[in-house]
Structure 1
């Protein structure tokens, strides 16, 4: 039986960063700094799933999306005024969902994605994922997320993303 817990302290942020780096083969170590920074944002909410042995096998987190934030402004540039009012005005930004590959296809991503937004008081939630990440897009669509804009190239990224939204 796995255990779901809050992602709330530096030790857990470090475990999440280690898992992220293992999954994405990313060794720039900036993910831990990003999680720590994001944990100070209004409305931060993070969850982790632990294996029976107590190791972190997945995590998700997000926060209230505000105009003072870098990614909020990237998203705002892509949306027209009506889309901005609908999707970003009172929005929870679903930032990250990661599951260790050996634990995928067992419902853990669905569980984390559902639980993360369950108690959020914002009117909407928004996320981005790679256009070609079909498993993620399929999961999110099955949970009621809608495509808002595709393609989206955040910052200087050459990778195409899709902006997805959900009414809460």
Structure 2
């Protein structure tokens, strides 16, 4: 059941330390201990084209965030993902799309609708007609959330360089389910 909380756009650079802390504490896939959890990586991503980040703070403490940016052909992520997509029209999914880079909610606040609201806000504010993300193959809770918002599988599971678990790619057209009139 969703509680009353406020989702707001936040500046990645200004909140990098808090974001990294939520990332580390909320990570269940073992990725936050790698370079993706570092503040320098967050700062670099904050400068990307149309990078946006949304957060939820409760009692002055950041408890969840979601950020994304424009999917660009030259990105390592995009190039790796292109090799693994099994869906029709790979180019459609990887051009003029929003990369949902991360969605994390601290464990005590999970299951309250925060992750869905964060992802919905990010996609609603996106200038692109679709979103693409990767999710750990074993993270069934996250996959259920994404599916409930209209995301569909775009790949079989695959190994992503530097990631400790196998991933799936998922994509959704905007607006997400639940946001359509």
Measured after TM superposition, the shift of residue 3 of structure 1 is 3.0
Note the residue ranges of structure 2 that are not aligned, 5 or more in a row. Answer: 175-181
Aligned partner of residue 154 in structure 2, secondary structure? strand
The answer to whether structure 1 residue 20 and structure 2 residue 40 are counterparts is no
Deviations 1:85-122 (A, max 9, x none): 22012110001000000011111011101111012121
Partner of 1:37: 44
Measured after TM superposition, the shift of residue 9 of structure 1 is 4.5
Partner of 1:138: 144
Aligned partner of residue 156 in structure 2, secondary structure? strand
Aligned partner of residue 45 in structure 2, secondary structure? helix
TM-score between both structures, scaled by the size of structure 1:
0.90
The answer to whether structure 1 residue 165 and structure 2 residue 171 are counterparts is yes
**Aligned-CA RMSD value:** 2.0
The answer to whether structure 1 residue 85 and structure 2 residue 91 are counterparts is yes
Note the residue ranges of structure 1 that are not aligned, 5 or more in a row. Answer: none
The answer to whether structure 1 residue 2 and structure 2 residue 5 are counterparts is yes
Return closer, same or farther for 1:11/1:75 CA change in 2, 3 Å cut-off: same
Return closer, same or farther for 1:154/1:83 CA change in 2, 3 Å cut-off: farther
Q: Is the 8 A contact 2:131 2:171 kept in 1?
A: yes
Larger proportion of helix: 1
Larger proportion of strand: 1
Higher relative contact order structure (alpha carbons within 8 Å, sequence separation ≥ 6): 2
TM-score between both structures, scaled by the size of structure 2:
0.84
Return closer, same or farther for 1:98/1:156 CA change in 2, 3 Å cut-off: closer
